[in-house]
Structure 1
Amino acid sequence: MSQSNRAMWRGAALPSFISSVIAMGVSWFVSGLSGFFGALLASFTVVIFFSVSLLVARFTKDANPIATMALAMFSYFTKLFIMAIFLIAVTRLTSPESVDRRAFGVSALVIAFAWLGGEVRAFLKLRLQLPLPESRS
């Protein structure tokens, strides 16, 4: 894993871990054990969802822009499809008494915002070496 990818993942993982722990604690306090399980499931799904994006970026760093965009779109729609199947399965296979849906939704939003904020912050702190365009004399 390159230094920039590692920094991006670490910069996003730390705030999302902290917000996951807080979300699990608050959900447990508000909704009991079902809230805790909802927040735990939300933290798992959000981290996996966004980690795949960084993994795809790692694999396409040297590819041409068209292939990078095609792979990014393919991975995005694949993640959405798998996420929809996962959420339908959780809804059908678990009872609301075992996994609190409201705790899941609120925790997923909080953790996703924390991940995205951490990722943006980590990206802005990177020192990327970009080639300068050739001057025409």
Structure 2
Amino acid sequence: MQPNDVRILRGATLVAAPAGVVATVVSAIVAGEKGLVGALVALAVVAGFFGLGSAALMRITQNKPQVAMTAGLLVYTVQILLIGVFVIAFGDTTLFNGRAFGLTLLVTALAWVGGQVKQSLTSRMLYVNPEPSVPAEGSRDGM
């Protein structure tokens, strides 16, 4: 894992965690025990899908940074599709409050993505190799 990846992951977590905690507390106050369970399930879903998605993106782009945009869009699309499948699968459940689940999921996911965007835009990433390369023997660059 590269240092920039760690900073982006930390930035996303530092924004999403407080938002998720606030949404969980509000869900528990408004919807009671089932609201608390729904909010906790939503936090687990966001942490799982977005955390694993970030790890997958870091792994994909580790040796091939030129595919970062394509891989990022693919990972994000898969995350959203999997969350949609999860929401549809548990749409009629009585295990937890669906509204508390949905709102906590939305708030936490938006906070996660916002944290990633903010950290990506404010981090100082090198776009070139700072070490000078030695020209190969016989090349014209060394003359």
| TM-score where L is the length of structure 1 | 0.77
Distance 1:35 1:7, change over 3 A: same
| Larger Rg, first or second structure (1 or 2) | 2
Partners of 1:16 and 1:115 within 8 A in 2: yes
Matching residue's letter, 2:90? V
Counterpart in 2 of 1:113?
Answer: 110
2:121 aligned to 124, 131, 134, which one?
124
Residue 119 of structure 1 aligns to a residue whose secondary structure is helix
Residue 129 of structure 1 aligns to a residue whose secondary structure is coil
Counterpart in 1 of 2:4?
Answer: 4
The C-alpha deviation readout for 1:21-55, integer Å capped at 9, x for no partner, is 11111001000011111111111111222223321
| Residue 61 (structure 1) shift | 3.0
CA distance in 1, matches of 2:125, 2:55: 18
CA distance in 2, matches of 1:76, 1:113: 12
CA distance in 1, matches of 2:84, 2:123: 34
CA distance in 1, matches of 2:116, 2:80: 20
> Which of 25-34 and 116-125 deviates more?
116-125
| Residue 111 (structure 1) shift | 0.6
Residue 128 of structure 1 aligns to a residue whose secondary structure is coil
Counterpart in 2 of 1:62?
Answer: 63
Counterpart in 1 of 2:14?
Answer: 14
| TM-score where L is the length of structure 2 | 0.74
The C-alpha deviation readout for 1:96-133, integer Å capped at 9, x for no partner, is xx31111111111111121111111211221111129x
| Residue 81 (structure 1) shift | 4.8
The total of aligned residue pairs comes to 128
Matching residue's letter, 1:100? N
RMSD: 2.4
The C-alpha deviation readout for 1:2-36, integer Å capped at 9, x for no partner, is 11111111100112111111111100100001111
Listed as ranges, the gaps of 5+ residues in structure 1 are 133-137
Counterpart in 1 of 2:138?
Answer: none
2:97 aligned to 95, 100, 123, which one?
100
